């Protein structure tokens, strides 16, 4: 079954304690991304990766790191978490957009990770 798997699903931790949220996809997708969902703000992109060893900042990258050493994995790292990073996080992947405009591929999302930072 094609899927994006995130772990953990829920985590309560304290300010400053480094944490990693893992993300793995089994669809051989080159593109992967991380989003956070906050009330009234929808899904905002944190980081994305077009391929192995290629990562770029999204709209809200501050306080986060990512790495893409293998095609299937794209972990999200919070080196020193703070309460304003309490949120619902989603990892996603998608296939190639195809050539030219007027096209794209839908992203496949994981089931989310709810982080609470006290």
Give the interface with another protein as residue ranges (CB under 8 A): 4, 33, 35, 40-45, 48, 58, 90, 92, 97-98, 100-104, 106-112
Q: Select 18 or 99, whichever has its Cβ closest to another protein.
A: 99
Q: Compute the distance between CA of residue 62 and CA of residue 58 in angstroms, rounded to an integer.
A: 10
Q: Select 18 or 57, whichever has its Cβ closest to another protein.
A: 57
Measured CA angle at 75 (ends 72, 27), to 5 deg: 20
Q: Select 38 or 70, whichever has its Cβ closest to another protein.
A: 38
Q: Compute the distance between CA of residue 109 and CA of residue 15 in angstroms, rounded to an integer.
A: 27
Tokens standing for 109? 């999302």
Q: Min. distance of Cβ 42 from another protein in angstroms?
A: 4
């Amino acid at each position: 079954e094609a899927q994006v798997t995130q772990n953990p699903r829920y985590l309560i931790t304290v300010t400053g304690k480094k944490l990693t949220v893992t993300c793995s996809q089994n669809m051989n997708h080159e593109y992967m991304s991380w989003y956070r969902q906050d009330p009234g703000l929808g899904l905002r992109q944190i980081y994305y990766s077009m391929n192995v060893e290629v990562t770029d900042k999204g709209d809200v990258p501050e306080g986060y790191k990512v790495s893409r050493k293998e095609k299937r994995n794209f972990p999200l790292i919070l080196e020193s978490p703070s309460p304003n990073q309490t949120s619902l996080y989603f990892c996603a992947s998608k296939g190639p957009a195809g050539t030219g405009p007027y096209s794209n591929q839908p992203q496949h999302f994981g089931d989310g990770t709810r982080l609470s930072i006290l």
